[in-house]
Chain A
């Protein structure tokens, strides 16, 4: 079922006035502290006696460590501790597991394998002294040839990066395939039209404004370790620390306080966190580690880095029959991908997009290179960003080949509403969707036909204007746990709800906000179900001692998984409240009607008790119905039965300066369908942020390396992020197709725009450049690259 809302945010408008309410616009509960400068970020923490940790990093991409001399650093008057890889090896801590069953060096022992890799650390009395002491450590390296070009990583001459792995004689990580190769080949053989295109999704970086860091505080008396850290998954981290460090899990508390942006960058466990823990264990003091921006850009979780060949088969009339792709994936020096373990390529399998195909096939090979590890960060929904970019680029190539309008071609091939739930040719079951109205609304908001007319006029005058379209279907909200786990931890989420005697409540979540506004949205979810105003509901999150177990916030999974848990735990409390109300009103439960916030006896509107009355009775002195315990609380662990599949239609308008080749995004229309909308203000904000990411990736951002493996993008002067001048005033719209299996019909939205916007922008630039004979151009479309294209020269390879 699709409900298309008529100005939904207006009809559902609710202000912060304390009236009983639930879903709808509501100002954020967390903002009063943020606008006063009273956020509580990791680096704000100052503990008595706290020491500061700094990490020495490799200047080389690939080299053997011959010796590490720490004598001078140890002699520095403010230095308390210097630790090398050899010292960690003695304690069995030199290596740690990654989230994808590989191992990564905490501190290098034998070799360094990427520029910026951790080699040693210093703990000193202040942060400046710690940095000073790094200069006093003398490391002797024997440089080795570096493997930088992913295309040659598997050649027999390539040096073996991971000789730490027993028997490893090449740089191969894994092969992965999905779909039916033979059936797809057969469809390609008989198709009227086949279009192929090499497509690169360059390495990019999430670069949250707050870099990664931690404060570790080990109390030797009670044996308890408290770790405040920039993590999107505090519970998963706690369990892994227990496994790696051998500390009992109940003696570890991981706190993720306010986080200054995550975007996937703060999912992995970084060596720095482990170093901070070791530093505190060895000094007996709290130890703070905060990386600088260069460290963040060169050593922490990158994203993308897929080299793809896309092929599409269709009839002459524009019926898409099949898509085939081969991918070469650069995983860096350690396979640090944070994706469900059975999905080494993340959810790339949804590359069939929003179209009803006869066949599809993908073959992927992943390799090691001498670059930083990582791979799924930056709001990508586990590789769906790459998948959507591939399909939306290749569909545009087909439109170009068929001389067909890109919207018309997409509309012709959409999965139809009556086909849902729809099983794709790669096995994904899309829960719900109604694509045509979403595309139509985008077309209408953009004034698409007028734009095409304007473009024709401008072309006649020699001006360069482009219009780009993309349509995406996302797959978000991992689990289900039977299919999805991270290192054996099932991707389910707990939730606890306690209603206090006066009718105020506290809800405890296993997920954690990095700016998404959970303290507001989750209060609204509970408020909608229970009728307690959101202002009366405290949301507790980000502290493993205070919250139930769960896998955390990434891959747009908070609303699909934890949001469902919050709604269901509230319904569980409501069920108990119904029993108590039946006692209070002396009627059977069947005679009670629930109207948000109170139970009323059917046919007797005056006989009514509010949830607040019930809460007091639940804790009060009076009798409760037979078999009902006191208190008003519940807890659950929610295991989603499927992912949720939000979709959206995006249209981008660009102008290109004929003199400088600078691309300006003049307009961007984004119509999103994320099912039930809990807080439209927050949803709009999530979409805006993702669109800006898209402009960055399409036009500006790339983590580049020279042939020796030096990272050329280690500062915000070299790694360009959009400012207010590079992005337009976003134009947004929405449709509502609820998820049939989510208790409130909601789907995730946090990454939709990051996934959907890059192809719209690139398609617009390619459309603008089509008079120059261009059918494809790889990101980032910087002025120099666009200029090359305008001169008819091939773009330099990424």
Chain B
């Protein structure tokens, strides 16, 4: 069958099998490999894209069902050569390690900030709770999304430091973390 949809603002038409999943349509037919596939059961969320502005798991949508609709993927987050604040937030706050869940996380996060520009930590955790990250432990993802919220609200302060790892308050100073005699 033939399917036509708008992907990241461009209309595309392809001949496909009726059973083809949207995730495989994007990856194998359009070479948009930023959207990933990670499970058989719609649990992991590495495949999240937008369908008409709403995040969906593209492993659970047939490409045929997206016909006539608008799809946005991670490749469409960057606009006019400018990274989305979400993308910058993930880099600034170490919101990713292996990068596999990252596109899906960022699509969900962008959707969250569009309807709730100043979410609480709890609201962020709830929003991404249908997705799994095996690397980060989520705290840095929460910080990344808050960074983006502050950035786009213009309330981010440059003095802010995302890491919170602390040393003993009574530590002898002024030692630095790399004071191990590495230079010879």
Q: Are B141 and A6 in contact (CB under 8 A)?
A: no
Interface residues of A in 530-585 (CB under 8 A from B): 567, 571
Quick check: is B13 within 8 A (CB to CB) of the other chain? no
Q: Are A209 and B100 in contact (CB under 8 A)?
A: yes
A437 CA to B167 CA, complexed, in Å = 10
A293 CA to B90 CA, complexed, in Å = 26
B3 vs chain A, min Cβ distance (A): 16
Task: Answer whether A12 and B176 are a contact pair too, CB < 8 Å, given A31-B96, A37-B74, A716-B44.
Answer: yes
List residues of chain B with CB within 8 A of the CB of A444: 168-169
List residues of chain B with CB within 8 A of the CB of A516: 97
Q: Are B165 and A684 in contact (CB under 8 A)?
A: yes
List residues of chain B with CB within 8 A of the CB of A7: 166-167
Quick check: is A85 within 8 A (CB to CB) of the other chain? no
Quick check: is B157 within 8 A (CB to CB) of the other chain? no
Interface residues of B in 140-184 (CB under 8 A from A): 140-142, 161-169, 171-184
Quick check: is A43 within 8 A (CB to CB) of the other chain? yes
Binds B, one of A273-281, A725-733, A758-766: A725-733
Q: Are B175 and A5 in contact (CB under 8 A)?
A: yes
Interface residues of A in 707-744 (CB under 8 A from B): 715-717, 721, 723-725, 727, 729-736, 738, 743-744
Interface string of A596-630 (1 = CB under 8 A from B): 10000000000000000000000000000000000
Task: Answer whether A28 and B91 are a contact pair too, CB < 8 Å, given A4-B168, A715-B39.
Answer: yes
List residues of chain B with CB within 8 A of the CB of A744: 180, 182
What is the interface residue range for chain A against chain B?
35 or more
Q: Are B182 and A745 in contact (CB under 8 A)?
A: yes
Interface residues of A in 20-39 (CB under 8 A from B): 22-25, 27-28, 30-39
Q: Are A5 and B98 in contact (CB under 8 A)?
A: no
Task: Answer whether A46 and B163 are a contact pair too, CB < 8 Å, given A37-B103, A209-B134.
Answer: no
Task: Answer whether A734 and B165 are a contact pair too, CB < 8 Å, given A12-B176, A34-B96, A515-B98.
Answer: yes
Task: Answer whether A6 and B98 are a contact pair too, CB < 8 Å, given A12-B177, A41-B36, A733-B165.
Answer: no
Q: Are B140 and A36 in contact (CB under 8 A)?
A: no
Q: Are B98 and A731 in contact (CB under 8 A)?
A: no
A447 vs chain B, min Cβ distance (A): 13
Interface residues of B in 55-114 (CB under 8 A from A): 73-75, 77-78, 83, 87-88, 90-92, 94, 96-103, 106
Quick check: is A300 within 8 A (CB to CB) of the other chain? no
B142 vs chain A, min Cβ distance (A): 7
Quick check: is A11 within 8 A (CB to CB) of the other chain? yes
A384 vs chain B, min Cβ distance (A): 20
A22 CA to B134 CA, complexed, in Å = 29
List residues of chain B with CB within 8 A of the CB of A517: 97
Of residues A4, A37, A445, which shows the largest number of chain B Cβ atoms within 10 Å of its Cβ? Answer: A37
Quick check: is B14 within 8 A (CB to CB) of the other chain? no
Interface string of B9-41 (1 = CB under 8 A from A): 000000001011000100110011111111111
Contact partner, A8, options B90, B103, B138, B177, Cβ 8 Å: B177
A692 CA to B90 CA, complexed, in Å = 19
A736 CA to B168 CA, complexed, in Å = 11
Q: Are B137 and A689 in contact (CB under 8 A)?
A: yes
Interface string of A474-514 (1 = CB under 8 A from B): 00000000000000000000000000000000000000001
| Residue on B nearest A668 in the bound complex, by CB | B137
Quick check: is B43 within 8 A (CB to CB) of the other chain? yes
List residues of chain B with CB within 8 A of the CB of A57: none
Q: Are A9 and B168 in contact (CB under 8 A)?
A: no
List residues of chain B with CB within 8 A of the CB of A39: 34, 99-100
Q: Are B179 and A736 in contact (CB under 8 A)?
A: yes
List residues of chain B with CB within 8 A of the CB of A689: 97, 134-137
Q: Are B41 and A676 in contact (CB under 8 A)?
A: no
List residues of chain A with CB within 8 A of the CB of B19: 128
Interface residues of A in 366-400 (CB under 8 A from B): none
List residues of chain A with CB within 8 A of the CB of B100: 39, 41, 208-210, 260-261, 515
Interface string of A27-66 (1 = CB under 8 A from B): 1101111111111010110100000000000000000000
Quick check: is A440 within 8 A (CB to CB) of the other chain? yes
Contact partner, B178, options A261, A677, A732, Cβ 8 Å: A677
A521 CA to B126 CA, complexed, in Å = 33
Q: Are B91 and A676 in contact (CB under 8 A)?
A: no
| Residue on A nearest B43 in the bound complex, by CB | A716
Interface residues of A in 251-309 (CB under 8 A from B): 258-261, 263, 292-294
Task: Answer whether A260 and B99 are a contact pair too, CB < 8 Å, given A41-B36, A528-B182, A675-B180.
Answer: yes
A6 CA to B175 CA, complexed, in Å = 6
Task: Answer whether A723 and B34 are a contact pair too, CB < 8 Å, given A9-B163, A37-B103, A738-B180.
Answer: no
Task: Answer whether A128 and B92 are a contact pair too, CB < 8 Å, given A7-B166, A724-B129.
Answer: no
B15 vs chain A, min Cβ distance (A): 13
Quick check: is A161 within 8 A (CB to CB) of the other chain? no
List residues of chain B with CB within 8 A of the CB of A340: none
Task: Answer whether A594 and B183 are a contact pair too, CB < 8 Å, given A36-B87, A730-B139.
Answer: yes
A725 CA to B46 CA, complexed, in Å = 17
Quick check: is A451 within 8 A (CB to CB) of the other chain? no
Quick check: is A691 within 8 A (CB to CB) of the other chain? yes
Quick check: is B7 within 8 A (CB to CB) of the other chain? no
| Residue on A nearest B19 in the bound complex, by CB | A128
Task: Answer whether A680 and B163 are a contact pair too, CB < 8 Å, given A11-B176, A716-B41, A744-B180.
Answer: yes
| Residue on B nearest A736 in the bound complex, by CB | B177
List residues of chain A with CB within 8 A of the CB of B74: 35-37
Q: Are B34 and A37 in contact (CB under 8 A)?
A: yes
Interface residues of A in 415-459 (CB under 8 A from B): 437, 440-441, 444-445
Task: Answer whether A441 and B168 are a contact pair too, CB < 8 Å, given A688-B139, A725-B125.
Answer: yes
Q: Are A4 and B43 in contact (CB under 8 A)?
A: no
List residues of chain B with CB within 8 A of the CB of A172: none
| Residue on B nearest A30 in the bound complex, by CB | B99
| Residue on B nearest A9 in the bound complex, by CB | B163
Contact partner, A210, options B36, B40, B167, Cβ 8 Å: B36
List residues of chain B with CB within 8 A of the CB of A24: 177-178
A723 CA to B141 CA, complexed, in Å = 12
A675 CA to B40 CA, complexed, in Å = 41
List residues of chain B with CB within 8 A of the CB of A680: 163, 165, 177
Contact partner, B24, options A41, A127, A678, A685, Cβ 8 Å: A127
Task: Answer whether A724 and B125 are a contact pair too, CB < 8 Å, given A34-B96, A128-B17.
Answer: yes
Interface string of A643-654 (1 = CB under 8 A from B): 000000000000
Contact partner, B177, options A23, A571, A688, A692, Cβ 8 Å: A23
A27 CA to B88 CA, complexed, in Å = 11
A730 CA to B142 CA, complexed, in Å = 12
Quick check: is B5 within 8 A (CB to CB) of the other chain? no
A542 vs chain B, min Cβ distance (A): 13
Interface residues of A in 199-236 (CB under 8 A from B): 206-211
Q: Are B78 and A36 in contact (CB under 8 A)?
A: yes
Quick check: is A681 within 8 A (CB to CB) of the other chain? yes
Quick check: is A356 within 8 A (CB to CB) of the other chain? no
B144 vs chain A, min Cβ distance (A): 10
A36 CA to B137 CA, complexed, in Å = 21
Q: Are B167 and A735 in contact (CB under 8 A)?
A: yes
The 16 sampled A-B contact pairs (Cβ below 8 Å) are: A4-B167, A4-B168, A5-B179, A36-B83, A39-B99, A261-B100, A515-B99, A678-B178, A684-B164, A689-B97, A689-B135, A729-B139, A731-B164, A736-B175, A743-B182, A745-B182
**Supplied contacts A6-B171, A293-B39, 12 more A-B pairs, CB within 8 Å:** A35-B88, A35-B96, A35-B102, A37-B74, A210-B98, A515-B98, A680-B177, A683-B165, A684-B164, A724-B125, A730-B139, A735-B168
Which 5 pairs between the two chains have the least Cβ-Cβ distance?
A37-B34, A515-B98, A8-B177, A260-B100, A688-B137
